[in-house]
Structure 1
Amino acid sequence: MVFTQDEQESLIYDVRLSSVGPGRGSGSNIFHHPVGLDLAMKLHYLKVVYLFDSEAAQGLNIAKIKETLFNMFNHYFVPCGRFRRTESGRLFIKCNDCGARLAETRCTKTLDEWVDMKDWSSYKLLVSQQALGPELSFSPPVFLQVTQFKCGGAAIGISWAHVLGDPHSASDFMNKWGEFCNNLNVKTPYNIPRSIATPLNLEGLEKDPATVKRVDPVGDHWILANNKKMEQFSFHITASQMNNLQEQIWGSSVEKNPSFESLCAIIWRCIARVREGSEPTIVTVCRSDPNGRGNDMIGNDQLICKVDAGNDCSIVDTDLKTLARLLVEQGTDERKQIEEIVETNEGVADFFVYGANLTFLNLEDVNVHDFKLRGKKPIFVYYTLQGVGDEGAVLVLPWSKDPNKNDIDGKFVTIIFPEDEMVKIKDELKMNGVMVDGDF
């Protein structure tokens, strides 16, 4: 079922706004200085919605929510700060305990009715769509929304400014909040703000790396101005579908084949067919850094890899196994180059990463289902991005049939693309067995 905009807006009512910060003061003159990689992501926002049944959401009232956030923000106080600029224009966060914004809302549907709608565009109603600015010094980097369904179930949405940190950072933040909600004996180190970075040696830097794109200055209103109207849709690929797709690529091999790269290879070729004459021969692959991010509780440390098939390559005519192997073996991590190009402008110039090229974002290792209420995982997690460039992005998450039993059944995919390409992309995905009629 797909609703009109007016019908969607009528689903949510009784909206109440407040702010919540640390239960104790963080101190005076404490500042967090985003590094160049953080600043390169400032036009992107992670949007995550967790759905909990009535048993898990029992007792989830505003007093409980604020009490647990007060305690957690004693440790995670950096996201409660506000952005400021130095005299040169470089951004930093003043840790002034202004807090995260919190919205309480109600929904006219039960949780089962909401899930059965499968109207993925309606999920934007369960998480704030607000960007930072134009009054930057008053804008919270984190916006939480709690929506109560008629049946007693609840949705918890988080809008997380990507300048704070990557998907792992946002997921760790929510998972830690779940520990406070469950009254666990939480052992959490303090969120030590990043100091001013040591200047980089910028000799020999000739051009922007392929995985970022420079844009005209956006000032204090952090919204990416697209040349095309962007749209998104989502669908579930079952484990059996996934097995069939992998067998098409690798044959009946007994070896374990990479599922993320296999799926992305098929989608890459489908998109190349849609963009005949302008095939995406360079793509960006973002995934978790297996080496972690050290002691930082927040920060952008995911791998940002360029995969270049070569100017002479025809993606449409390349077999899927070759494309999948390219995605597995040929990625060049460009984080260092991104850091350098941002620092050449003292962090003042504006860039974006997602959608600079066709971008594949691997969220399979991000622990998106580990946010618990009353010890229970969400029945469903919806994940998307705001601020994707015209080349589009593909997000891949594990699909959990029963998250509380770690029962993984395939993948959940969200595709964000220009509106004028959507019909053709869906048709291509259908013809290649990635989607079925019931998916849209």
Structure 2
Amino acid sequence: MVSLPNSPRNTHKSNLFLYPTLIIIFSNLSSLKANHGSPPPQQGHDLVYNLRLSSVGPGCVTGSDVIHDLSGLDLTMKLHYLKAVYFFSSHAVEGLTVMNMKEAMFYLLNDYYITCGRIKRSESSGRPYIKCNDCGIRFVEGVCDETVDEWLETDDDSKRNLLVYHRAIGPELPFSPLVYLQVTLFKCGGISLGLSWAHILGDAFSVSNFINNWGQHMAKVNVNSSPALAPRSLTNTAKPEAPSEPLSAKQVNHVGDLWVLANNCKMETFSFNLTTKHLSNLQAKIGSVSAFDSICALLWRAIAKVREGFEPQIITVCRKDPCHDDSNVLGNNQIIRSIKASFLVGESDLNKLATLIANDQDQVCDERNKIEAAVEKDNGCTDYIMYGSNLTFVNLENAGLYELELNGEKPKLAYYSIQCVGDEGAVLIFPLPHGSAAENEGEPRYLVNLTLPEGQVFKLKAELKRAALL
């Protein structure tokens, strides 16, 4: 495995010097393929090999002393990371080179220069902030001896981690990139694009917007339409007052400068598909609620049965905020609600659970302000988590996961997951592309990604098999 450099790459004295510096490390997809026949180095896992790392920053200098202040909600997410993997066929990347990708990234990062910064702490308070110093995102190239279709046939979710180069932030904060982008070339000529994203930058909707805008830059569509993101300043912002402690976030032991969550048990991730037939059968039992609410109800009850006396009475549900629909805005803007059941979940009717989840949207129970206020009590220096503080469900139906196009083609699959989830677990629910082997072409199907304590996964799979979902 290639090790990361010990210091950030910041040669952005002017545009004149930026491009020669980075052209030295340019390659194209055909050159990766030319090296494909050479035996891979012994790296412990040979499925993805010949990793090459470089840095890509904005094409224009951001300026000196540009600071992006992190809100209390941002800092709640500091121990969480988002991972995304997009799979494309060989036809979709025909004629596309790594140089094309990096050139488009130069222009994109002129707008998203905050992603190229590094974490620093206030000398007076110790509060983290982002120094927008153009150190860049980390760009990784790799090779795989399988085809895209062979990879997609696997049931091993841990394999997908090989397609996303990830390093947690710290312990040397000024030297830790916030974003990693990995391009992996498969034997068939197809590729995957794997993104590791520090959640302090923004939620999954921000991730999707970021990579979709990159695709537009590669296609040279609307490349001048997105204004540069303005850094946030909290200098004159009044601290919010919390009427009560949030249910959807909890304080954890202080982690210092290595931003990794210490779980009390080993966590495991697995995923499964829900077909049109599955959804029809499920909603026939539940009634007129959304597919997302139906799936949440089913899994909430199933997990409650598995936990045998320690069932989750409170869950957290995250959805897109329709008031933050600007594709050019980074931030943790998703709605965060807590839902509490006053009855035994494992023995309850699915319709009762689904109705509780669906009706929650009409109540004033968005906890973002409560979370913000809780973190601000200690000026952002206390460590919190949100995902896994309760069993957490995330709705990515409206995240635009299939709006990224290469050569006019959409991904064969877009897959999202969360790194560093608390012990209560998290569930991501997102659509699969229309017409991909569904019973009725054009009807939506869903992919469900779960991260739970390892000892509960086997029992949950058995419960899902009894429900004819696996």
The answer to whether TM tops 0.5 is yes
For residue 369 of structure 2, what is the aligned residue in structure 1? 336
Q: Using the alignment, how far apart are the partners of 1:76 and 1:167 within structure 2? A: 15
Bigger mean CA deviation after superposition, 61-70 or 341-350? 61-70
Out of 304, 312, 333, the position equivalent to 1:301 is: 333
Structure 1 gap ranges (5+): 1-5, 251-255
3-state SS of 1:400 partner: coil
Q: Check whether the contact 1:19–1:99 (CA below 8 A) recurs between aligned residues.
A: yes
Aligned residues: 421
Task: Give yes or no for the alignment of 1:219 onto 2:252.
Answer: no
Aligned pairs (5 A) from 1:77-88: 77-87=113-123, 88=125
Question: Aligned letter for 2:229?
Answer: N
Q: Using the alignment, how far apart are the partners of 2:242 and 2:173 within structure 1? A: 34
Q: Using the alignment, how far apart are the partners of 1:8 and 1:213 within structure 2? A: 37
Aligned pairs (5 A) from 1:17-416: 17-87=53-123, 88-186=125-223, 187-196=225-234, 198-201=236-239, 205=243, 208-250=245-287, 256-292=288-324, 297-310=329-342, 313-330=343-360, 332-402=365-435, 407-416=442-451
Structure 2 gap ranges (5+): 1-41
Q: How far apart are 1:118 and its partner, in Å?
A: 3.4
3-state SS of 1:48 partner: strand
Q: Using the alignment, how far apart are the partners of 1:245 and 1:67 within structure 2? A: 47
Bigger mean CA deviation after superposition, 25-34 or 6-15? 6-15
Question: Aligned letter for 1:194?
Answer: R
Out of 415, 429, 437, the position equivalent to 2:464 is: 429
Deviation string, structure 1 residues 109-167 (Cα, Å, up to 9, x no partner)? 11122122333221110002311111111111110000000111000000011100011
Question: Aligned letter for 1:45?
Answer: Y
Question: Aligned letter for 1:317?
Answer: E
Q: How far apart are 1:407 and its partner, in Å?
A: 3.5
3-state SS of 1:160 partner: strand
Question: Aligned letter for 1:71?
Answer: Y
3-state SS of 1:59 partner: coil
Q: Using the alignment, how far apart are the partners of 1:115 and 1:203 within structure 2? A: 48
Q: How far apart are 1:240 and its partner, in Å?
A: 1.2
Q: Check whether the contact 1:238–1:411 (CA below 8 A) recurs between aligned residues.
A: yes
Question: Aligned letter for 1:431?
Answer: R
Q: Could you list the runs of 4 or more consecutive aligned residues of structure 1 that deviate by over 4 angstroms after TM superposition?
A: 201-206, 293-296
Q: Using the alignment, how far apart are the partners of 1:178 and 1:91 within structure 2? A: 31
Question: Aligned letter for 1:235?
Answer: F
TM-score, normalised relative to structure 1: 0.92
Q: Using the alignment, how far apart are the partners of 2:172 and 2:230 within structure 1? A: 26
Q: Using the alignment, how far apart are the partners of 1:8 and 1:326 within structure 2? A: 48
Alignment CA distance shift 1:49-1:221 (3 Å): same
RMSD after superposition: 1.9
Q: Using the alignment, how far apart are the partners of 1:293 and 1:367 within structure 2? A: 11
Deviation string, structure 1 residues 152-191 (Cα, Å, up to 9, x no partner)? 1000000011100011111100000000111223211111
Question: Aligned letter for 2:348?
Answer: T
Question: Aligned letter for 1:375?
Answer: G
Q: How far apart are 1:24 and its partner, in Å?
A: 1.1
Q: Using the alignment, how far apart are the partners of 2:333 and 2:235 within structure 1? A: 15
Question: Aligned letter for 2:358?
Answer: V
3-state SS of 2:358 partner: helix
Question: Aligned letter for 2:174?
Answer: S
Task: Give yes or no for the alignment of 1:417 onto 2:447.
Answer: no
Q: How far apart are 1:210 and its partner, in Å?
A: 1.0
Q: Using the alignment, how far apart are the partners of 2:85 and 2:177 within structure 1? A: 18
State percent identity of aligned pairs.
47
